[in-house]
Amino acid sequence: MHRYNCIIVEDEPLAAEVIKDYIGQVPFLQLKGICTDALYAIDLLQKEKIDLVFLDIHLPKLKGLDFIKALKNPPQVIITSAYQEYALQGYELNVVDYLLKPIEFSRFVMAVNKLKEREAGPALPVSSAAGSERAALFFNVSKKHVKIYIDEILFIESLKEYIRITTKDKSILTKFQLGQIEEMLAQNGFLRIHRSFLVAKSKIDAFSATDVEIAGKQIPIGRSYKDTIIGSLNA
């Protein structure tokens, strides 16, 4: 059984103790340390191979979300917080899950099980020696691995824990994070135009200040993305 080395970054002793107890009940988790602040955690990450961080948001010295941003290659992160208003920012940073305190053990187990689901995510095929094979990704759909050619993707929509990938001929639903697929397609001409939408720039038929049109579908441009997207499309 593969075991995940994890740490707790939490400045409240009682909250840290609860998570420690939960970790002890999950066979595939191995606790490597408890950090009372993010700076201590950064130091520990440099010394130990850590797969998963249970991270509070309101920490002394360096806040939890800033801690994630400060890491060049962060491990997987599960946020543990009493404040739900930071959930969107957390998911935009590709966290595994966002747990609201007080945390029930059943909910904790659901969160850590997502680690294994992520391991079963899409993978790029090996290119042929002649470089003739089109780039594609395989996605888990109803226990099958479905191939999607990257150059056929029109847009991708986030639906909480799932994404819907739409091509000219079909649409699939798979358990995946939009931020994760955004990173994988970063070099393939895709634009994040909204917190819930990733689109293929080459497939845009028309656009305005508020939306883009792809294959007859109007897709909104988020306010925080507007200037960057309009600038990119006008370039």
Delineate the domains of the chain, giving CATH numbers in brackets: 4-119 (3.40.50.2300), 136-234 (2.40.50.1020)
**Cβ density class 221-230: b for 16+ within 10 Å, e for less:** beeebeeebe
Answer yes or no: are the C-beta atoms of 33 and 9 closer than 8 Å: no
pLDDT at 185: 82
Answer yes or no: are the C-beta atoms of 75 and 67 closer than 8 Å: no
pLDDT at 139: 80
Contacts 24+ apart (CB under 8 A), 129-137: 135/188, 137/184
Q: How far apart are the first and last CA of the chain?
A: 51
Residue 184 backbone dihedrals phi, psi, to 5 degrees:
-70, -25
Q: How many CB atoms lie within 10 A of CB 117?
A: 13
pLDDT in tens, the chain (235 residues): 578 999 999 999 999 999 999 999 998 899 999 999 999 999 999 999 999 999 999 999 899 999 999 998 889 999 999 988 888 788 788 888 899 999 999 889 888 888 776 665 554 443 333 344 677 887 878 777 788 889 999 999 998 778 999 998 999 998 888 887 887 787 789 999 999 999 999 999 999 999 999 999 999 999 999 988 988 888 6
**Is the sign of the CA dihedral 204, 208, 210, 216 positive or negative?**
negative
Answer yes or no: are the C-beta atoms of 125 and 143 closer than 8 Å: no
pLDDT at 146: 83
Answer yes or no: are the C-beta atoms of 168 and 154 closer than 8 Å: yes
pLDDT at 132: 45
Amino acid at 194: H
